Structure 1
Amino acid sequence: MMILPFASEMRELDRQAIEEFGIPGMVLMENAGLGTVLMMEQELGPANNSFALILIGPGNNGGDGLVIGRHLHQRGCEPVFIFLAPPEQLKGDAAGNLHIINKLGFPLHLLTTLATVQTLHRLYQQQILLGRSCYAIVDAIFGTGLTREIDGYVAELIELINTEPWAASIPRIAVDIPSGLHADTGKVLGACIGADHTATYGCAKAGQLMEQGAEVCGRLHIIDIGIPSAAFTTLGIQQRAVNAEETSRILAGIKRKKSSHKGSHGHLLVLAGSIGMTGAAILTVRGALRSGCGLVSLCCPQDLDAIFEASFVEAMTIPLGASHSCIGMEDLATIEQHLQGKQALVIGPGLGTAESTAELVLHLYRTVQIPMVIDADAINILAQARHQLQAPPGPRVFTPHPGEIARILGISIVEVQEDRIRAARAACQFLDQSAGQCTVILKGVGTVIASHDSQVWINTTGNPGMATAGMGDVLSGVVGALICQGLCPQEAARAAVYLHGRAGDLLLKTIGIGYIATEVADSLPQAIKLMNP
């Protein structure tokens, strides 16, 4: 299980390692620096006859950079130490490593004003003239404790490193986290190093997997610095990553028996589609079928039935006689009849928000006891009536994008994106009303899955090619299908998000940008197979 501590929790882990387990901070710092250099050798090759520009900040991150420089020197790489704050500001273990560097006689270069920013390029040129190649730029400026905006000469320096042609070809190594990235939210704080590799210590951080964090970290490497496992178990960290290991574990619970038949793998009911939005329903059904659901039935307006009949042959349609162009309350009795014997209900994709449709959605939300996957228009309908919502009588999985969750919470999209974990947790608590029934999937880069017990999972799959119409419809079908096959809603949500993103990743490799939601649905069997070869 891959845990994702917040910055405050990481500090507590360090404290426990030092104070309760007696591991000196200098040892942890040494392990961090050496582990980073070993990673660099593995990724960049031998370091001999080269130099490295090492940017040293005022805290422990700077101390890690000093250790990295010392170990690079032992491998034939000349460390060029560039301090972005007076060296005497270093305290504790970082100051101890500065003392070692001074004893070894390395020159220290100071860059603390806008006028001295170009010092970096001059130091680079001096080493090039000596016949050395630049092995890496090491970012040891700020660590996970940064919460303020970066400005002034530090922001100018970061901009130079990110954009200057001479620096563009040099590998950039972030120490623990790229300087300027908020460790908890993935927000860029004014300016941020765009790293090629990030050596993160002890654990990955939540912000490294979400939004801009996923963009600036490059390839993420977790370095074991020697924090005892007992420290992790006592802290009760509630943020985790949804990765291949976790998804394989979940899917092992629904491994098929040779004697199974279609009735063994659940029957999903889908309420979706309206005039002009039939594609959403089709994609939902396709996602469910491609995820292994035994049977799928679609309730649809009678006048649209022919479209659905011609679009898929494996699913069943239930034409609703009183519904025209959109599904309405007039067909409640028929819908309730067909809910019998179903393991889950998906409601919302392309449904529309007509008055009669809204009345139906609210009624079903308040009365249906089987798990419901609530997407798109159904979310918007509930958001309109958010102050009248009661605790749901059965499990509910919500799949909002940032705009939809903003409407649920009555805040702006900007506020949602400022702290996606907080938004997902808040929405889950608001909708759950202490019933212990709700799960929220906040879609986006590093999709966040929040459950009623405050646990949060962050997805590790997906790519920019998935930013196109219909992807969410496929996802809602996958969630419903996995519930029907026997997974609890929380685990179904986690596995569905991972598989959905993995299918997209497979397509990115084989097709490239421009693949569509239908192809993601059709790639789901391959993604599932990779989890259970």
Structure 2
Amino acid sequence: MKIVSSEQMRVLDNKAISEGTAGIELMERAGTGLVRVLQKEITDIVKKKVVVFVGKGNNGGDGLVVARKLKGLGVQVRVILLAEEEEMREDTKTNLTRARGADIDIIPLKDLSTEKIKEEIFRSDIIVDAIFGTGFSGVIGDMAKDTIEAINNSKKYVVACDIPSGVNGNTGEVGGPCVDSDLTVTFAYPKKGLFLYPGYRFVGNIRAVDIGIKDEESPSRWNMLTSSEIREILPKRRKDAHKKSFGHVLILAGSFGMTGAATLACQGALKVGAGLVTLGIPESLNTIMEVKITEAMTLPLPETEEKSLRAKGVGEILDFIERKKVDVIVIGPGLSTNRSTGKLVKKILKKVDLPCILDADGINLLASEATLAKAKAKIIITPHPGELGRLLGKKAEEIQRERIRYAFQFSEENNLVCVLKGYQTVVTKGEDVFINPLGNPGMASGGSGDVLSGMIGGLVGQLRLLETG
């Protein structure tokens, strides 16, 4: 799904309107879509009390549609106006009239105080933020500021219409108070500000609602991954398939004290359906791995005094790759940063014309090296911000502030796929950027990256066989 700037969205809106879809109809579709998302996210929504904060722009109109649709479901809903009626856009005024016709309790701006706002928030279970949209610019007034601060202090469930109020739709910048939402329901296409620092910290989960606007002519190369899109590209398994139909993954991983990383990578590859998995492991650790992993095979290899893989083993590895028809290589989990191990990794990348997933120590071994750009292997690199920072000579904090920029830069300079891990993982190759809004803080645990590298290897092996027949 495309990610667009505020200006691109405005062009798409205007095009839809010029082709016959009225602006108020787009507003109706947006508000209706948000309510449908709420029904899926909160199954007992009809038992909840909802307060909708409404601004003067189109975003406020979306919120008024939400209130009317919730009322129609039997939800107890109240609307709080943070603008005078005469300031509102025409379509927003129309929806205000419709809300009154639906007998919704509406509190006008003149009746508001900070205490009244806090009281209404206290009485509610769910807060809908329809104060400012993607077109907002300027200074946030005192009443809106007090409202946003009260929302953020409430610990109630907060839903943002299109974008959290206070986040710049283009840059993600936050110039003042900003609504900290649990869920952002974005209309037509997600906006860039939802994925840029520091705005991405305030969006919560992201759901996109189709309002009938198509983006065939949109120049954006940014994309948000969705569950449905991912399901479409996953390989289907034929009924007459066998283990060699789903790829052979060779994982070079593990060293003394780090056999767990190797195990997790193998399990990740197997869990996503790899047909065969072989672990290349320092020979003295092979007995341990024979016990730790059952489905994966092992390849004992020459080792250093530190019990990590030794450069001397490159010939044996290359021979195994050819004889056993390996489809993809995963390099790095628990590998160590031993110099001899580093030489091994560099030789493999220069000699093997296969997809290679580089993770963890596989990345650290190549810091300050020009090996990646010269590699024969087709590289997928999976750094966290600290690892990418070492490769680019930057601090992790710098990478985190401009995740998309630096992932794109490194991918372009080295002609590889970069998977920058973390909240809203960035995947980029060349001009195309894909952002994954899924996942949760529960994944912030040691070993998650090892599992991911194995999963990528397992999937690449299967997809590669589909491409090559």
What TM bracket, shorter-length normalisation? 0.7 to 0.9
Partner in structure 2 of residue 507 of structure 1: none
Distance 2:311 2:139 in 1: 52
1:417 pairs with 2:394: no
Distance 1:179 1:88 in 2: 21
1:470 pairs with 2:447: yes
Say whether the 8 Å CA contact 2:410–2:418 is kept in structure 1. Answer: yes
1:314 pairs with 2:311: no
The aligned length equals 459
Deviation at 1:398, TM superposition (A): 0.9
Relative distance call for 1:110 and 1:431 in structure 2 (3 A) is farther
Task: State, as a whole percentage, how many aligned pairs show the same letter.
Answer: 37
Counterpart amino acid of residue 186 in structure 2: T
| Cα deviations by residue, 1:383-408 (Å, 9 ceiling, x for unpaired) | 3215x642432321111112112223
Relative distance call for 1:377 and 1:7 in structure 2 (3 A) is farther
After superposition, residues 234-253 of structure 1 pair within 5 angstroms as 234-253=217-236
Say whether the 8 Å CA contact 1:344–1:480 is kept in structure 2. Answer: yes
Q: TM-score, normalised by structure 1?
A: 0.72
1:139 pairs with 2:129: yes
Deviation at 1:68, TM superposition (A): 4.5
Say whether the 8 Å CA contact 1:328–1:357 is kept in structure 2. Answer: yes
Partner in structure 2 of residue 346 of structure 1: 330
Distance 2:181 2:271 in 1: 37
Which of residues 41, 57, 62 is equivalent to 1:59?
57
After superposition, residues 325-364 of structure 1 pair within 5 angstroms as 325-340=307-322, 341-364=325-348
Partner in structure 1 of residue 4 of structure 2: 5
Distance 1:3 1:269 in 2: 35
Distance 1:150 1:161 in 2: 15
| Cα deviations by residue, 1:116-172 (Å, 9 ceiling, x for unpaired) | 5334136679xxxxxxx75853311122345889796644432212324xxx55x54
Q: TM-score, normalised by structure 2?
A: 0.81
Relative distance call for 1:282 and 1:425 in structure 2 (3 A) is same
After superposition, residues 445-484 of structure 1 pair within 5 angstroms as 445-452=423-430, 454-484=431-461
Counterpart amino acid of residue 179 in structure 2: I
After superposition, residues 3-402 of structure 1 pair within 5 angstroms as 3-19=2-18, 21-36=19-34, 45=45, 53-68=51-66, 79-83=78-82, 90-91=88-89, 93-94=91-92, 108-110=108-110, 116-121=113-118, 134=124, 137-145=127-135, 154-164=144-154, 168=155, 172-181=158-167, 183=169, 191-195=177-181, 197-205=183-191, 217=203, 221-227=207-213, 229=214, 232-253=215-236, 255-258=237-240, 260-321=241-302, 323-324=304-305, 325-340=307-322, 341-386=325-370, 389-402=372-385
| Cα deviations by residue, 1:486-524 (Å, 9 ceiling, x for unpaired) | 44899xxxxxxxxxxxxxxxxxxxxxxxxxxxxxxxxxx
- Alignment gaps of 5+ in structure 1: 126-132, 433-437, 491-533
Say whether the 8 Å CA contact 2:314–2:347 is kept in structure 1. Answer: no
Relative distance call for 1:247 and 1:96 in structure 2 (3 A) is closer
Say whether the 8 Å CA contact 2:283–2:301 is kept in structure 1. Answer: yes
SS at match of 1:179: coil
- Alignment gaps of 5+ in structure 2: none
Relative distance call for 1:317 and 1:146 in structure 2 (3 A) is farther
CA RMSD of aligned residues (A): 4.0
